[in-house]
Amino acid sequence: CIIKKEQETCLEKIRRAAALNPLNDSSPGCPGMWDNITCWKPASVGEIVFVKCPALFRFIISEDGWEVDNLGQTHAGDYDLLESTAQSPLGDISRNCTEDGWSEPFPHYYDACGFDENETESDNQDYYYLSVKALYTVGYSTSLVSLTTAMVILCRFRKLHCTRNFIHMNLFVSFILRAISVFIKDGVLYAEQDGNHCFISTVECKAVMVFFHYCVMSNYFWLFIEGLYLFTLLVETFFPERRYFYWYTIIGWGTPTICVTVWAVLRLHFDDTGCWDMNDNTALWWVIKGPVVGSIMVS
């Protein structure tokens, strides 16, 4: 995801620089370039451009790079343009603009940024995530089988039909939907092991994320209904359970529908990036997180 954001920023800067300072035959040089890791500003033949280690290696997103002002001049910023072939400082990578185009980066990204490609940390991290995914898959599968069995028992025996068990059944359904939504989400986002979900932006995957958030919210609100029902039993000796159950249903399934719909509309208009699985916009995320936290606190 870091690379995706860096690429979009780089291409926009290259476009602006090309519009303000177009290269022609009388002024040969190297155009701005995105090399799939970091951004390189336009340079003339003979210039050596230095850049800092990419955000991918530093694990932070900074404002490194060059800017274009109103006069069309490019500023080096953290890029140091040197006329000599002196070696770059530790942690910097250089490219030389030659008549044949950009040279290969020197030193290599791995050497300059202190990254050993022979280390097994990446493999260990992949193994860790695969283990976590396998663990919660087994957990959700067990939950799904158990809850389905419980639902069959509660539906099969009429003597178990009462308001309390109806609330339990709705809670079980919300847990079942939550487990199903997790399986669907994993199937859509991580269908291919080598696929990058940052580059996925389809109506299908966005709909899956909306369904996932709805199931999670419904789960929390039916937990809230469980507490609300017990509270009602304590404060009222006699009360019309059927009428109360009607309102319980509206709260348990209706409130998440409203919240998730509002969130989806806001994401579509103000933060329509990726597959909506990242929640970088804190304000929009509170449309879902706020009611959930509120229901937990009230419970």
Pair (184, 276) in one structural domain: yes
Helix extents (H) in the chain = 2-20, 55-58, 109-112, 121-156, 163-189, 203-235, 241-249, 255-270, 282-298
Provide the edge-to-edge strand list for the sheet that holds 81-82. 81-82, 48-52, 92-98, 101-102
Q: Which of 48-62, 261-275, 281-295 is predicted least confidently?
A: 48-62
Read off the pTM: 0.61
- Rounded Cα gap, residues 134 and 81, in angstroms: 50
| Selected residue with higher pLDDT from 92 and 77 | 92
Q: Are residues 279 and 142 in the same domain?
A: yes
Q: Which of 113, 146, 178 is the last residue of a domain?
A: 113
pLDDT above 50 (res 211): yes
**224 and 271 assigned to the same domain:** yes
Same domain, yes or no: 255 and 146: yes
Residue 171 near residue 222 (C-beta atoms within 8 A): yes
Question: Amino acid letter at 219?
Answer: N
CATH number for 258: 1.20.1070.10
Domain membership flag for residue 247? yes
Pairing verdict, β 92-98 and 101-102: antiparallel
Mean pLDDT of 168-179: 95
Q: Identify whether residues 229 and 264 lie together within a single domain.
A: yes
184: in domain: yes
47-51, 73-77, 106-110: which has the highest mean pLDDT?
Answer: 47-51
pLDDT at 115 over 80: no
Is residue 37 domain-shared with residue 142, that is, in the same domain?
A: no
Indicate the range of 105-114, 124-133, 175-184, 289-298 predicted with least confidence: 105-114
Any domain includes 253:
yes
Beta strands 29-30; 92-98: pairing state: unpaired
Tokens of 76: 């080096």
The answer, yes or no, to whether residue 163 has pLDDT greater than 60, is yes
Percent of the chain with pLDDT over 90: 33
Predicted pLDDT at 79: 38
In a domain, 261, yes or no: yes
The answer to whether residues 173 and 257 belong to one domain is yes
- Regarding predicted confidence, which is higher, 245 or 29? 245
User: Which pLDDT band holds residue 24 (cuts at 50, 70, 90)?
Assistant: low
In the chain, the number of structural domains is 2
Residues 3 and 102 in one domain: yes
CATH assignment of the domain containing 14: 4.10.1240.10
Q: Tell whether 100 is covered by a domain.
A: yes
In a shared domain, residues 223 and 264: yes
State residue 117 phi and psi, 5-degree precision: -70, -10
Calculate mean pLDDT across residues 118-127. 63
Whether 50 and 174 map to the same domain: the answer is no
Q: Percent of the chain scored above 70 by pLDDT?
A: 76
- Return the sign of the alpha-carbon dihedral for residues 188, 191, 195, 196: positive
Question: What per-residue confidence (pLDDT) applies to 183?
Answer: 93
Indicate the DSSP class of residue 68.
Answer: B
pLDDT, tens digit, 9 for 90 and up, residues 148-158:
999 999 999 88
- Residue 121 maps to a domain: no
Taking the C-alpha atoms of residue 292 and residue 61, their distance in angstroms, rounded to an integer, is 30
User: Does residue 222 register a pLDDT over 50?
Assistant: yes
Domain presence at residue 72: no
Neighbours of 246 (CB within 10 A): 10
Domain hosting 97: range is: 1-56+89-113
Shared domain for 201 and 275, answered yes or no, is yes
219 located within any domain: yes
Same domain flag for 145 and 98: no
Average pLDDT, the chain: 79
